Amino acid sequence: MRNARSPTGVLTGASFASMFFMGVASAVIGAASGNIGLSPFHTGLLIAAQNAGFILAVLATGSLADTHDKARLLGVGSLVLAVSFFLFYFWRPYAVNLVVMFFVGVGIGIYEGVADAMLLDLHPRRQGLFVSVNHFFVTFGCLAITLYLVFLPLADWRRSLVQSAAAVLLLAVLFLLARAPAPVREAARLGERLRFLKTQSLLAVFLAAAALGIGMEAGLVGLLTGFLSELRGYDPVSAKLGLVLFLAGVAAGRALLGLITRRGSQLALIVALFAAAAVISAVLFAVNLPPALNAILLFLLGLTVSSLLPLLITLTGQLYADMAGTALGIVKLGIPVGGILIPSLLSLVARYASFRASLLMFPLIALASGAMLAASRKLIRARIQRVTAGE
């Protein structure tokens, strides 16, 4: 039952805000590294520390979300993130900031591990829409901090983090005073949940699909400007605008695709999006098209990859409703795994084959992902039957 002290709209808005700051935290290293004067090597270590904290937190709090108040957990995550934002490069020693970045990862890992699970409880009839919009705010946060640091004077770059720390601290107060609705069914003990989930090969498929989808998005963000400038002859400003078009497609997809998704249609839509991504990326990277057509394809490519993760999250939450936090924690391991492995694979192909060959990996990855999920329909139908039977 929903608590009168914590209206659904308040907690939903707070969840959106937390994901916005998750986007800020995810992008701040890349956006601020030049301002700080970090080498690529040191930037990579900071990102690795952030991912380590994220992995630990998303697994731990995902399981806790099944048995503890989700608003309180988000309050703890907000406190951790607020302090970490404030302390990042408050002192200059690199080792200190490596530890701080680990705790930034912990903070956003708690957000990722709990916020979607809370929305699944708050909005049982429109789960896909609210999870999709939730992840729109991650993209919005990434864009906001990047643009902010572009226009902010170099000497004042920390101002954005101090302001973010203050806003996240207010979120912490809101979450700690709030009460999230209890799940419809009481979760089993952690050991029982883990033993059951070990038997669910379907979760391994979802984890792999999440890793591939996130990896495609991360790889495209990293390589699109290089593709447009080196292989299509665009000037630097036009190449960056191409990336903006792609990100606009991602944002639009996360805001709009949830509106057309209905319960039971997620799998078909995910497979269709992977198939569309394969076709669009193949045409974009293999055919030299006029700029106007390239612009359309860049936007559509962003649209196709935008909702892969939100749809997988919604489907997982529906299939494992009585242990959604634990199941989502496992699937969301695909975020750091895909964000590391797929760009690394693309870098190796570019080094030992060619840049063009690395780009043609995108349609292959999309096709393989869609085929893998399509082949899992029997597993999904079997799980739906068990859920319907109340097992």
Residue 37: Cβ within 10 Å count: 8
Per-residue tokens: 191: 């050991």
Question: What percentage of the chain carries pLDDT values higher than 70?
Answer: 87
Question: What percentage of the chain carries pLDDT values higher than 90?
Answer: 30
State whether 238 and 348 are in the same domain: yes
The answer on pLDDT for 153 being more than 60 is no
Q: What is the mean pLDDT of the chain?
A: 83
In this prediction, residues 103-111 reach a mean pLDDT of 94
Res 186: pLDDT: 54
Residue range 330-358, pLDDT digits in tens: 888 888 888 888 888 888 888 888 889 98
The answer on pLDDT for 103 being more than 90 is yes
State whether 104 and 231 are in the same domain: no
What is the phi/psi pair of residue 35, to 5°? Answer: -65, -40
Determine the Cα–Cα distance for residues 28 and 22; give it in Å rounded to an integer.
10
pLDDT band at 111 (very low <50, low <70, confident <90, very high): very high
> Is residue 379 domain-resident?
yes
Residue range 281-296, pLDDT digits in tens: 999 999 999 999 999 9
| Boundaries of domain holding 233 | 193-388
State whether 248 and 310 are in the same domain: yes
Residue range 36-79, pLDDT digits in tens: 777 767 777 888 888 889 999 988 888 888 788 899 999 999 99
State whether 290 and 362 are in the same domain: yes
Last residue of a domain, one of 160, 182, 204: 182
Q: Which residue has the higher pLDDT, 30 or 343?
A: 343
The answer on pLDDT for 280 being more than 90 is yes
> Of the ranges 103-112, 125-134, 371-380, which is most confident?
103-112
Res 379: pLDDT: 79
In this prediction, residues 213-242 reach a mean pLDDT of 86
Res 1: pLDDT: 38
Determine the Cα–Cα distance for residues 194 and 330; give it in Å rounded to an integer.
10
Nearest to 28 by CA among 132, 133, 168: 168
Q: What is the CATH number of the domain that holds 115?
A: 1.20.1250.20
In this prediction, residues 371-388 reach a mean pLDDT of 79
State whether 238 and 323 are in the same domain: yes
pLDDT band at 243 (very low <50, low <70, confident <90, very high): confident
Res 390: pLDDT: 56
Determine the Cα–Cα distance for residues 146 and 152; give it in Å rounded to an integer.
10
Nearest to 130 by CA among 9, 7, 279, 269: 9
> Is residue 188 domain-resident?
no
Per-residue tokens: 57: 């937190």
> Is residue 127 domain-resident?
yes
State whether 357 and 225 are in the same domain: yes
Res 144: pLDDT: 78
State whether 67 and 206 are in the same domain: no
In this prediction, residues 16-26 reach a mean pLDDT of 89
Nearest to 209 by CA among 119, 135, 311, 130: 311
Res 5: pLDDT: 46
pTM of this structure = 0.79
Residue range 169-209, pLDDT digits in tens: 999 999 998 887 766 555 556 666 667 667 678 888 999 99
State whether 250 and 164 are in the same domain: no
Q: Which residue has the higher pLDDT, 270 or 143?
A: 270
State whether 224 and 165 are in the same domain: no
pLDDT band at 127 (very low <50, low <70, confident <90, very high): confident
